Amino acid sequence: MKYLNLIITLVILLFATQNCGVYSFTGGNVGDAKTIRVDFFQNNAPIIEPGLSQKFTQSLQDLFLRQTNLNLVKNNADLHFQGEIVDFRINPMTATAEQRAAQNRLTISVRVRFTNRLVENDNFEKTYSHYYDYGATQQLTGSILDSATNEIFERITRDIFNDSVAKW
């Protein structure tokens, strides 16, 4: 009787997982896509931060490779991302009684062109932007810059992922 229950349970699980198809538990639905191409995102912002282009491009590639079963290719990809970093800006956010900045905000904007070779209605061009606030007494270098860009890129790449394959 135990073996019969076990066999029935396994058969039910087998059929239940067959219905999932290409759905991923991470929220990405890549359909019939098998390959992805992420072009280098050139830094065309008025302020150039060295290494920013490479860091963003790598962040976007890593997210898709971690969250989907797509293969990264250099040509003829089913899903193709291209674009550029269009803004890198630091603005004072709050002031002290002495009329000095108490907090600054780093904002980065990235323009993305997404092409889905298999489903052309999914194609889009959109600008994504996010910010990171830090104390005015801190210099935007070293670990503070790393933390800022990591957080900003995490949010921007997640938004790109959601718009392109998660459809949220």
Pairing of strands 101-116, 79-95: antiparallel
Residue 4 lies in a domain: no
Please give the tally of structural domains in the chain.
1
What integer is the mean pLDDT of 97-107?
80
Residue 119 lies in a domain: yes
CATH of the domain at 122: 3.40.50.10610
Residue 10 lies in a domain: no
CB count in 10 Å sphere of residue 148: 20
**At 96, is the pLDDT very low, low, confident or very high (cuts 50, 70, 90)?**
low
Give the integer Cα–Cα distance in Å for 81 and 98: 46
**At 137, is the pLDDT very low, low, confident or very high (cuts 50, 70, 90)?**
confident
Pairing of strands 101-116, 124-135: antiparallel
- Check residue 22 and give its pLDDT: 43
Type and span of the H or E element at 150: helix 142-161
Contact 116, 82 (CB under 8 A): no
Residue 18 lies in a domain: no
Tens-place pLDDT, residues 146-157: 999 999 999 999
Tokens of 52: 């920013």
The reported pTM is 0.80
